Amino acid sequence: MKRGLISILNPIPILILVLAATLTAACVPKPRMEYNKAQLLELHKTKELMRVLYHDLSPVWKSDKKSAYAAADFKIMSHTAPRVLAISQALGSQKVAGKYPKEFARHAADLGKHAAALQKAAAAALEPPARNAIKGINATCGSCHKKFK
């Protein structure tokens, strides 16, 4: 008796994997375009700023899971930190933060403080301060999302 490929492979687990991959990718949509720092500073749409922030921080989060950073990790951080700083400035602007309670602007300022620390640590290739800055960014994002998401 001949069995087709679909009947040999149970389609249920395959369907579940495809669905999970689709949902994971759809959780945070990609930014509408690749913004430069000047464009980020002029961007006043909170959702789009968050998309860019997530997209930019994803490689940093991958690096942070390593037991030790390599030169390539610091390069990624050096590229990302000024962008996160620009995003924090845009989020803290009156056009964005003015739509939310004052606490939102405080979160934006904290994000900028940690991004500046990451920029400094990455430029000097200092692992403990870089890890602390990333922890600060993560904590700031978490506390802001808890309040405003």
Tens digits of residue pLDDT in 80-117: 999 999 999 999 999 999 999 999 999 999 999 999 99
- Predicted local confidence at residue 27, as pLDDT: 73
- Is residue 6 predicted with pLDDT exceeding 60? no
d(Cα 17, Cα 3) in Å, to the nearest integer? Answer: 23
Which residues of 16-147 form beta strands (DSSP E)?
none
d(Cα 105, Cα 93) in Å, to the nearest integer? Answer: 8
When pLDDT is averaged across residues 116-138 and rounded to a whole number, the result is 97
DSSP 29: P
Number of structural domains, the chain? 1
Is 130 within a domain?
yes
Question: Range of 74's domain?
Answer: 37-148
Distances in Å between the Cα of 119 and the Cα atoms of 44, 61, 78, 81 are 23, 15, 6, 5
Is 8 within a domain?
no
pLDDT band at residue 14 under the 50/70/90 scheme: low
Is 106 within a domain?
yes
Is 2 within a domain?
no
Q: Which amino acid is at 103?
A: E
- Is residue 12 predicted with pLDDT exceeding 80? no
Is 31 within a domain?
no
Is 22 within a domain?
no
- Predicted local confidence at residue 76, as pLDDT: 96
Domain CATH code at residue 83:
1.20.120.10
Is 6 within a domain?
no
